[in-house]
Amino acid sequence: MSDDEVKKFLYVNRKAPYGTIYAQESLEVVLIGAAFDQDVAMAFLDDGVFQLTKGQDTKGTGLKNFSPTYRALGDYEVTKLYVEQESLDERGLTLDDLQDIQYEDEDDDYAEKPSIIVVSRDQMASLMAEQDVILSF
Amino acid sequence: MKFGIVVNEGPYTHQASDSAYNFVKAALAKGHEVSRVFFYHDGVNVGTRLTIPPQDDRQIQEQWSALAKEHELDLVICIAAAQRRGLLDENEAKRQGKDADNIAEGFRISGLGQLIEMGIEADRTITFGD
Amino acid sequence: MATLHTVNRSPFQDQALLSCLRHVKKGDSVLLFEDGVYGAMSGTALSDTVAELGADVSVYALDADVAARGIDSARLLEGVALVDYAGFVDLAANTERTQNWL
């Protein structure tokens, strides 16, 4: 692979936020990685879907609430957040329980478009199978 | 083939750094290249030189330092994760006004960009974690 | 175009193995190591599920981790092949990508 070729990176998130640091430090990788102009997507499955829920309020815990950062991902041109339907279903969640995360599509007169793409488990498996680099946290 | 390795868990608590070490040794023995080992999350704790494990146990940091010396491995400790957990090299200790540093020989502290760069350059990226 | 999947956690403790097996593609390889090797045992409450979900993939267990946990190779699921660290390296080299189910 030549140096100027773009690789497909998938960041796989399977863990809930706060109980452990993985979700937060994963987000830090994604933000730094955005500067490298690769083809980046994030996958949220299993407990990873809990990272995207609305209404997170960490005041009583002393932990930093990093959930607003997901809404800023579009500014870093991270615009593909794949969320697995079965993982939502298993946890009694629907798309309405997740934050409204949007990006401005510069190829479409900066129209605001949703970053979250809900996919089936089979579609998630196919997405994983077409990556060059999969980083899991 | 060029391997990039990520270690996400701390030594002794978790087997990840042992598994990664055994994998890297096996890869090198087969003539592969290991372009970088990136220590993230609690994995950064592998790189402190101040550990004193019992004598009848393996010396995880020393094993890595020796392997790095022998094969000129690039052992990179993530600076953001390291700062949270108290891993400092001499420069960083000075810059932050801390009274000591603790980074072991063969390790260097650098940014998360090194992880992404490794993913771009390596043929395979393998993560050892939990 | 195959993927090497690795699982290092016990399936009795968490969902990594089952989630992995629900996302594999035919012809992929799954390597169980560290506590993941408990997922390779026969005669457990999960054996049939693992055998069923893993029917279209090659399942391997890391010999050093199997031995460390005192698992007799006769207790492994049929079709599970033992590999050493060199075999782990080969699996990673001979597949297109590695996905680690952390």
Domain ranges of chain B: 2-128
pLDDT confidence tier of residue A4, bands split at 50, 70 and 90: low
Give me the pLDDT at residue C1, please. Answer: 75
Kindly tell me if the per-residue pLDDT of B33 is higher than 70.
yes
Question: Average pLDDT for residues B67-76, to the nearest whole number?
Answer: 98
Nearest Cα residue in chain B from C95: B124
In a domain, A50, yes or no: yes
Q: Structural domain tally of chain A?
A: 1
Beta bridge partners of B100: none
Q: How many CB pairs under 8 A join A and C?
A: 36
Whole-angstrom distance, CA of residue B29 vs CA of residue B67: 12
Find which of A126, A128, A133 to mutate to test the C interface (most C CBs within 10 Å of its CB): A128
Largest CA distance in chain B: 44
- Interface touch C97/B124, C-beta < 8 Å: yes
Residue A2 lies inside a defined structural domain of this protein? no
Dig out the tokens for C84 from the structure. Answer: 């050493």
Interchain pair A29, B112: CB under 8 A: yes
Residues on chain B touching C33 (C-beta within 8 angstroms):
19
**CATH number assigned to the domain comprising residue A30:** 3.40.1260.10
Q: What is the mean pLDDT of residues B67-80?
A: 97
Angle subtended at Cα B74 by Cα B73 and Cα B75, rounded to the nearest 5 degrees = 105
Does ipTM top 0.90? yes
Spatial separation of the C-alpha atoms in residues A117 and A101, rounded to whole Å: 10
pLDDT digits (tens, 9 = 90+) for C3-38: 999 999 999 999 999 999 999 999 999 999 999 999
> Are C51 and C77 contacting, i.e. CB atoms less than 8 angstroms apart?
yes
Catalytic residues of B: 78
pLDDT of the residue at C56: 96
**What's the pLDDT score for residue A5?**
78
The pLDDT assigned to B114 comes to 98
Residue A59 one-letter amino acid: K
- Residue C92: which of B26, A14, B120, B68 has the closest Cα? B26
Q: Which residue range(s) make up the domain with A99?
A: 8-136
Distance from CA of B36 to the nearest CA of C (A): 16
User: In CATH, which of 3.30.70.260, 3.20.20.70, 3.40.1260.10, 3.30.70.270 is domain B2-128?
Assistant: 3.40.1260.10
Q: How confident is the model at residue A137 (pLDDT cuts 50, 70, 90)?
A: confident
Query: What residue segments make up the domains of chain C, in order of their start?
Result: 3-101
> pLDDT tens across A84-136, in order?
999 999 999 999 999 999 999 999 999 999 999 999 999 999 999 999 999 99
Rounded Cα gap, residues A98 and A96, in angstroms: 5
Characterize the bridge pairing of strands A111-114 and A102-105: antiparallel
Query: Which pLDDT belongs to residue C83?
Result: 98
Q: What is the mean pLDDT of chain B?
A: 97
Q: What is the mean pLDDT of chain A?
A: 95
B42: Cα within 13 Å, side-chain hemisphere: 14
Which one of C9, C33, C98 has the shortest CB-CB distance to B130?
A: C9
C6 CA to chain A: closest CA distance, Å?
Answer: 11
What does the pLDDT average to over C89-93? 98
Q: Residue A1: pLDDT above 60?
A: no
Alpha helices in chain A (DSSP H): 22-33, 68-72, 85-90, 121-128
Task: Give the fold, CATH level 3, of C3-101.
Answer: Hypothetical Protein Ychn; Chain: A, (3.40.1260)
